[in-house]
Chain A
C-alpha cells in the first residue's frame, strides 16, 4: 500500500519547480502556445491548490469536487448528500455559477484561510438571495468567489465542493470548473442517462485517468425502467476506456429530483455517501485516497514537464527564426549598400549632373547637398528593402503575428528622418576634416575648404566614375594630404553607414527582444523535474 510520507526536501524542490513553471511564458502565438499556456495554468493550479498544501498538511480534510455537465444534477446531488439546500438547483442552465464548498463546522478553518484556492474570494454564507446572484451575468463580478457553507450532517474530514459545469456556454464556468477539479482529492464525475455518451465529460474522465486521481462516477437522473440497462452500458463504456475499476453509483430519476426541488431522499444517495464517509474516516482508506491522487499528480509531472519544456523550446526556436530573418535581411542589404558605394552608385542622378557642372556651373555646397541626399536615399532604400524582405519572411511565420511585431507604420517616416540626421552629421564632420587638412597646408594659395570637402565626398562616393576627382584633390592638396583626407573621411563614412544599418536593425528587433524569450526556461524546467525525481 502506498502511503504518503513527506520530506521537507521534496516540498522545497516542489516549490522550486512551481516557481519555474510560473516563470515560463509563451508570448509568441505559435500553434501550440494557447494549449501550452492552458497546460501551464492547469499545472500551476494543481500545484498551488492541491499538491503543495496537501503535502504540507496531510491531515487536512479530504476535498471532493463534484463536477460534470450542465444539467447533470450536481447541485441536487450535493444538497442530497448534505441533507439540506446549500447549493441552488434549478431548471435554467447553467445553474451554478458560484462554487459552493460544504464542510463540517470544525473543519471550517481549513478552508476559510487561503490554504487552497487562494485566488477565490471567500463568501461566508448566502445572505443575499441566491436568485439575485443568479440573475447577474458572470461578467459583472470581476472577482471570483467561493461560497463556504457548514453542515453538521457532513462528517469531519470531508468537504464537498459543488463546481460549475464543464460544458455550458459560459466560458468562465468551464475555466473555473477545471481549476476547482484540480484542487480535489476525490473527483466526483456526475453524468446522466442522456449524457453518458457526451464527448466533453469523457475528456475529463480520460484526464482523470491520466493523472490517476481518485475518481468516482455518478450516473444521475436515470429513469426507473431503464436503470439496469443504462447502468450496464455505461459500465461497458467505462471498462472500454480502461476505467472499469472506478466506483460507480447510480441515482435514479425520482419525482423529488425533478428540476428545482433540489433534494433526493437519503436512500438514493446513501451508497455514495457511505463510500465518502468511509474514505474520510477510515485512516487507511483516507491515506490511500490521498496518496493515489498526490502520487498520480507527481507521476504526471514526468510527462507534463517535458511537454511544457518543449513548448518553451518551440517559442525560443520561433524567436530565433524571426531574429535570423531580420539578420539575414539586414546583412544582405548591408552588403548591397557596400557594393553600391564601391561602384559609385551614389554619384548618379542629381549628384552626377552636379558633378559634371562643377565647378563652372555648380557651387561646392550644391554638389555636397546632392551627394548627401543621394547617400541618404541609398541608405533609406536599403533599410526599406530589408524591412520588406523581413515582412516577406515573417509572413510564413505564425509567431510574427504577436502583438507589436508587425506594426511599424510610423517607423518609416522616422527612419528617413534618422538617416537624414546621420548623413548630415557625417557631412559636417567631413567638412571639419577638410578644414583641418587645409589649415596645415603650407601653400600660399590654399584651396577653399568647401571645395576640398566636395571633391573628397565625390571621390569617396563616386567610386570608379569619380577617379579624376581624386586626381583633382591630389592637385589641390598634394598627394599625401589628399590620401590622408580620403582615408579619414572614408573611415568615417564606413562608420556612419554601419551605424545606421545597425541602429535600424536594432529597432526592428526591439519588439522581439521585449518578449525576452530565452533558452533557459527549457533547461530549468527539465532540471527542476530531475531534481524532484531524485528527491522522491
Chain B
C-alpha cells in the first residue's frame, strides 16, 4: 500500500502543477480512478476506461453555470472576490488552519481535549463573521501563526486527519448549521486513521491528501465540501470494531472478518467525503417505475424510461448541489452519467445536498444489473425502494434485500408506485398489506414519529404523492444524519454477523474446581498418594524397628534372610525413566482444555485447546524430573525428639531383663543369696515393659508417620500442580483473558447501538 500511495504522491505532484495555475478549473472532478485508488476502493473492471475526466470536467462546469441560481451568485462572487483579493493569502490561511489543527493531533488522542477546547473558539470566531455562505477565508480569521514557507511543508507532513479535520473545521465557516458543526468539530479533531484494517494512512498518503485538499481549495471556485463527521458514540463503536478486528486477526479467518473490514473501509471512505450531501439510491424491481420516479423528483427526463424490460442498465446520478463529485466517484458512476436536476426556484433549497442515484433493477434475467445494484447499495447513504402493486410481494425483493437490510430501516423509504393503476380503496389495502410484509421482514416502520422506514404511496406518472416524498426527502437530507446512521446500521449488521464467533453460550472461564481437578489429576500421574502412603509406612516400619525389642528384631532378621523381597530390590537399581503416567497427563490436559473451552465460540475454543496442548508438550518430562527430585525427601527422615528416650527406655528394659536374668542365674549358681522377688520382678518388668514400650512407641509414631507421609505427598502434589499451572493453566488463562478482552470489545461495538445520532 505504501508503494501505491507513494506512486500516487508522485502522480499527484505532477498533476498538481497545472491545477495550481488553472485557477478556475473545477479540480474536484479529478480522475475518479485515481481517487478511488487513493481510497483503496476497488473500481469495477473497465470503470477506469469509462470515466473520462476531460469530458466530465467541462460538462460539470457548464452545468454549474447553467444551474447556478441567483442565491448562489452572491456566494460565488464573494468567494471569488476573496480569492481575487489575494489568492496566495487565502492559500496560506488554509495551510495555517491546517497546521494549527494538526499540531495538537500529533499527540494522538490525548490532545483531543485541547482541540476540543480550541475548536469552539474557531467556530465562534467564524460563526460570528457571517451566518450565510460568505467568504470564509478572510485574513481576519487567521489564527496566530508563523507565516513562512515552512508552513506548507509542515502542513503536508501532517497526518491525514489533519487534512480532513481542517476540512471539518472550515465547515464551520459555511454558515449552515454552525452549532451542529461546532459540536462535531471537537469530535472530528480526534485522530481517526484507518488503523489496523484499512490502509493505514501513511505520512506520504497524508501529504497527498493534504496537498489535494489544498489544490481543491485553491483551484476550485466553489467551497470544498466539508467532510462528514461521525458523532462520538458511533466513532467509539467504529474504533472498537477496528480494535476488535485487530485483536481477532490471528484467531479468525479473513472471510469471517471481511464484512467488518468492509464496513470499516466504507466508513473511513465515506467520512472523507462530503458531509453536506446525502446519497440516496432508488432501487426496485424492473418495471416498478424507478426511473420515472427519478425523473419526477429531478423535474426533467434524465433517466430513460420505457416499456422495454429491463430499461435502465447503468446507474445514473443526479446531484442537487455542488461538491458531491467525490461521493459519485465512489459509486463508480462515470461522468457522462451525472446529471443536474431541472432548475426550479421553489424546490431547489428543499433538496439541497441530495444526490439521487437511479439504479438498474435487481430481479431481471440480466445478472450484471443485480451485481451493480448489490455493489452500489453498500455505498449509498439511504435507499428508496420502489415497489408496485404487481410486484410488492416478490420473494426476491423481500428475501434477498429487505430482510438482510432490516437493520437499515432508518435509512429506508419504501414507496408504492403506480397507485394510479389501483381502483379506489385498493390502494390503501395494498399499502396496508405492504406494511404488514415489511413488518414481517423485521423492518421497523417509521410511523408515529418512531425511527424507521417511511412507507409512502405515490404515482410517479400522475405526480400524486411525489410532493410528500419530496418533503420527506428534503427533511431527511437537511438532517444530514443519513450517512452516519447508515454506517451505524452497517456496524450493527457486521456485529450481528460476528455474533457466533464472539458470543459465548454461557459464562466462560476456568473454575476453581476445574483447576483443582487438574492438579489432582497431575498428582495422580506422578503418584503422589502412593508415594505418601509408602513414605508413611516406611517411616512407621523404621520406627518400629528402632524401638522394637531386640529379640523381635533378631526374629525378623532371621525371617527376612530366606525371603528375598521382590519389591525392594526392584525399586533400587535402574534410574527410572518415565515415572509419570503419560496417559494421565494427556487426559488431564485434555479435560482441563475441554472445561476451559466449554461454551466458547469455535475459533476461541480451538485457540484455548491449542494453547493447552502446546503447554503440555514436555510436561510429562518435567514431571518426571520433578518426581525424581521431590519424591526423595532430602537427607534422612526426621526423627522425633522422644525417639532417643524411647530407644533408651527400650534398652533399659532389655537391660532389666538381662540384669534380672543374670541375678537369677547367679542365685541358681549360688553366687548370691536367694532372693527371688526382686530379680523376678525385674525380669517381668523387662519382659512386659519391652513390648509395652514398643507398642506405645508405635502408637506415638503414628502421628509423625502420617505427618511425614502427608508431607511427602504434599510436596509432590504441590510441585506437580505448580508445574501444571505454569505450563498449562497460565497459557490457558491468558488465552481466556484474551477472549474476554475481545468479548468486551465486541460488547462495546454492540452496546451503543441505540445511541446513534445522539452526541
Q: Judging by beta carbons under 8 Å apart, are B584 and A377 in contact?
A: yes
Q: Judging by beta carbons under 8 Å apart, are A359 and B307 in contact?
A: no
Q: Judging by beta carbons under 8 Å apart, are B421 and A258 in contact?
A: yes
Which one of A90-98, A181-189, A323-331, A512-520 is at the B interface? Answer: A90-98
Q: Judging by beta carbons under 8 Å apart, are A381 and B587 in contact?
A: yes
In the assembled complex, B590 has its CB within 8 A of some CB on chain A: yes
Q: Judging by beta carbons under 8 Å apart, are A350 and B426 in contact?
A: no
In the assembled complex, A432 has its CB within 8 A of some CB on chain B: no
Q: Judging by beta carbons under 8 Å apart, are A259 and B421 in contact?
A: yes
Q: Judging by beta carbons under 8 Å apart, are A356 and B524 in contact?
A: no
In the assembled complex, A168 has its CB within 8 A of some CB on chain B: yes
In the assembled complex, B391 has its CB within 8 A of some CB on chain A: yes
Q: Judging by beta carbons under 8 Å apart, are A349 and B567 in contact?
A: no
In the assembled complex, B694 has its CB within 8 A of some CB on chain A: no
How far, in whole Å, are A463 and B198 apart by their CA atoms in the complex?
A: 61
Q: Judging by beta carbons under 8 Å apart, are A359 and B581 in contact?
A: no
Contact of A357 among B421, B537, B579 (CB under 8 A): B537
Contact of B567 among A192, A258, A355 (CB under 8 A): A355
Q: Judging by beta carbons under 8 Å apart, are B396 and A377 in contact?
A: no
By a CB distance below 8 angstroms, the chain A residues around B288 are: 194
By a CB distance below 8 angstroms, the chain B residues around A202 are: 365
How far, in whole Å, are A384 and B524 apart by their CA atoms in the complex?
A: 19
By a CB distance below 8 angstroms, the chain A residues around B584 are: 349, 374, 377, 381
Q: Judging by beta carbons under 8 Å apart, are B389 and A259 in contact?
A: yes
How far, in whole Å, are A356 and B538 apart by their CA atoms in the complex?
A: 12
By a CB distance below 8 angstroms, the chain B residues around A72 are: 390
Q: Judging by beta carbons under 8 Å apart, are A350 and B363 in contact?
A: no
Mark each residue of chain B from 558 to 574: 1 if its CB lies under 8 Å from any CB of chain A, else 0.
00000001111111001
Q: Judging by beta carbons under 8 Å apart, are A70 and B393 in contact?
A: yes
How far, in whole Å, are A233 and B311 apart by their CA atoms in the complex?
A: 12
In the assembled complex, B410 has its CB within 8 A of some CB on chain A: no
Chain B residue at smallest Cβ distance from A168 = B393
How far, in whole Å, are A9 and B133 apart by their CA atoms in the complex?
A: 90
Q: Judging by beta carbons under 8 Å apart, are B567 and A359 in contact?
A: yes
Shortest distance from the beta carbon of A436 to any chain B beta carbon, whole Å: 22
By a CB distance below 8 angstroms, the chain B residues around A359 are: 565-567
Shortest distance from the beta carbon of B362 to any chain A beta carbon, whole Å: 9
Chain A residue at smallest Cβ distance from B526 = A349
In the assembled complex, B286 has its CB within 8 A of some CB on chain A: yes
How far, in whole Å, are A348 and B580 apart by their CA atoms in the complex?
A: 6
By a CB distance below 8 angstroms, the chain A residues around B392 are: 93
Q: How many residues of A contact B (CB 8 A)?
A: 68
Shortest distance from the beta carbon of A412 to any chain B beta carbon, whole Å: 8
Q: Judging by beta carbons under 8 Å apart, are A352 and B579 in contact?
A: yes
Which one of B139-147, B372-380, B429-437, B656-664 is at the A interface? Answer: B429-437
Q: Judging by beta carbons under 8 Å apart, are B579 and A167 in contact?
A: no
Q: Judging by beta carbons under 8 Å apart, are B567 and A348 in contact?
A: no
By a CB distance below 8 angstroms, the chain B residues around A92 are: 429-430, 433
Which one of B212-220, B444-452, B527-535 is at the A interface? Answer: B527-535
In the assembled complex, A254 has its CB within 8 A of some CB on chain B: no
By a CB distance below 8 angstroms, the chain B residues around A352 are: 527, 530, 576, 579, 581
In the assembled complex, B308 has its CB within 8 A of some CB on chain A: yes
Chain B residue at smallest Cβ distance from A171 = B395
Mark each residue of chain A from 256 to 283: 1 if its CB lies under 8 Å from any CB of chain B, else 0.
0011100000000000000000000000
In the assembled complex, A195 has its CB within 8 A of some CB on chain B: yes
In the assembled complex, A440 has its CB within 8 A of some CB on chain B: no
In the assembled complex, B399 has its CB within 8 A of some CB on chain A: yes
In the assembled complex, A388 has its CB within 8 A of some CB on chain B: yes
Q: Judging by beta carbons under 8 Å apart, are A260 and B423 in contact?
A: yes
Q: Judging by beta carbons under 8 Å apart, are A348 and B587 in contact?
A: no
Q: Judging by beta carbons under 8 Å apart, are B570 and A197 in contact?
A: no
Q: Which of B156-195 contact A (CB under 8 A)?
A: none
Contact of B391 among A194, A355, A358, A468 (CB under 8 A): A194
Shortest distance from the beta carbon of B637 to any chain A beta carbon, whole Å: 13
By a CB distance below 8 angstroms, the chain B residues around A348 are: 525, 527, 578-582
How far, in whole Å, are A256 and B615 apart by their CA atoms in the complex?
A: 80
Contact of A349 among B285, B527, B537 (CB under 8 A): B527
Q: Judging by beta carbons under 8 Å apart, are B399 and A169 in contact?
A: yes
How far, in whole Å, are A94 and B388 apart by their CA atoms in the complex?
A: 13
In the assembled complex, B639 has its CB within 8 A of some CB on chain A: no
Shortest distance from the beta carbon of B107 to any chain A beta carbon, whole Å: 47
Chain A residue at smallest Cβ distance from B286 = A197
By a CB distance below 8 angstroms, the chain B residues around A71 are: 389-391, 393
How far, in whole Å, are A198 and B307 apart by their CA atoms in the complex?
A: 14
How far, in whole Å, are A167 and B389 apart by their CA atoms in the complex?
A: 15
In the assembled complex, B364 has its CB within 8 A of some CB on chain A: yes
Contact of A233 among B287, B309, B363, B570 (CB under 8 A): B309
In the assembled complex, A370 has its CB within 8 A of some CB on chain B: yes
**Known contacts A168-B393, A349-B584: does B570 contact A468 (CB below 8 Å)?**
yes
By a CB distance below 8 angstroms, the chain B residues around A374 are: 581, 583-584
By a CB distance below 8 angstroms, the chain A residues around B534 are: 353-354, 356-357, 361-362
Q: Judging by beta carbons under 8 Å apart, are B394 and A360 in contact?
A: no
Shortest distance from the beta carbon of B364 to any chain A beta carbon, whole Å: 4
In the assembled complex, B258 has its CB within 8 A of some CB on chain A: no
**Known contacts A350-B524, A353-B531, A361-B537: does B287 contact A194 (CB below 8 Å)?**
yes
Q: Judging by beta carbons under 8 Å apart, are A345 and B582 in contact?
A: yes
Q: Judging by beta carbons under 8 Å apart, are B570 and A357 in contact?
A: no
Q: Judging by beta carbons under 8 Å apart, are A349 and B423 in contact?
A: no
How far, in whole Å, are A385 and B587 apart by their CA atoms in the complex?
A: 9
By a CB distance below 8 angstroms, the chain B residues around A144 are: none
Mark each residue of chain B from 536 to 570: 1 if its CB lies under 8 Å from any CB of chain A, else 0.
01100100000000000000000000000111111
**Known contacts A197-B309, A350-B527: does B587 contact A358 (CB below 8 Å)?**
no
Q: Judging by beta carbons under 8 Å apart, are B581 and A345 in contact?
A: yes
Chain B residue at smallest Cβ distance from A174 = B395
In the assembled complex, A199 has its CB within 8 A of some CB on chain B: yes
Q: Judging by beta carbons under 8 Å apart, are B422 and A259 in contact?
A: yes
How far, in whole Å, are A198 and B391 apart by their CA atoms in the complex?
A: 11
In the assembled complex, B53 has its CB within 8 A of some CB on chain A: no
Q: Judging by beta carbons under 8 Å apart, are B566 and A358 in contact?
A: yes
Q: Judging by beta carbons under 8 Å apart, are A356 and B308 in contact?
A: no
**Known contacts A349-B525, A360-B568, A381-B586: does B530 contact A93 (CB below 8 Å)?**
no
By a CB distance below 8 angstroms, the chain B residues around A360 are: 537-538, 541, 565, 567-568
By a CB distance below 8 angstroms, the chain B residues around A472 are: 566
In the assembled complex, B121 has its CB within 8 A of some CB on chain A: no
By a CB distance below 8 angstroms, the chain A residues around B364 are: 197-199
Contact of A197 among B366, B393, B422, B530 (CB under 8 A): B366
Q: Judging by beta carbons under 8 Å apart, are B567 and A358 in contact?
A: yes
In the assembled complex, A22 has its CB within 8 A of some CB on chain B: no
Q: Judging by beta carbons under 8 Å apart, are B570 and A388 in contact?
A: no
By a CB distance below 8 angstroms, the chain B residues around A115 are: none
How far, in whole Å, are A56 and B395 apart by their CA atoms in the complex?
A: 38
In the assembled complex, A380 has its CB within 8 A of some CB on chain B: yes
How far, in whole Å, are A223 and B420 apart by their CA atoms in the complex?
A: 14
In the assembled complex, B398 has its CB within 8 A of some CB on chain A: yes
In the assembled complex, B310 has its CB within 8 A of some CB on chain A: yes
How far, in whole Å, are A340 and B388 apart by their CA atoms in the complex?
A: 74
How far, in whole Å, are A92 and B426 apart by their CA atoms in the complex?
A: 8
Q: Which of B287-322 contact A (CB under 8 A)?
A: 287-288, 307-310
Shortest distance from the beta carbon of A223 to any chain B beta carbon, whole Å: 8
**Known contacts A259-B426, A468-B569: does B590 contact A198 (CB below 8 Å)?**
no
Chain B residue at smallest Cβ distance from A383 = B587
Q: Judging by beta carbons under 8 Å apart, are B567 and A199 in contact?
A: no
Chain A residue at smallest Cβ distance from B426 = A91
Chain A residue at smallest Cβ distance from B430 = A91
Q: Judging by beta carbons under 8 Å apart, are A356 and B426 in contact?
A: no
In the assembled complex, A196 has its CB within 8 A of some CB on chain B: yes
Q: A169-B393, A233-B309 are in contact. List 13 more A-B contacts (CB 8 A).
A: A91-B422, A197-B286, A197-B364, A258-B422, A345-B581, A348-B578, A351-B530, A353-B531, A353-B534, A355-B571, A381-B586, A384-B590, A465-B574
Q: List 6 A-B contacts (CB under 8 A).
A: A199-B396, A349-B579, A353-B527, A353-B531, A360-B541, A381-B586
Q: Which 9 residue pairs of A and B lie closest in terms of their CB atoms, listed nearest first?
A: A194-B287, A349-B581, A93-B393, A353-B530, A361-B537, A197-B309, A356-B571, A71-B390, A357-B534
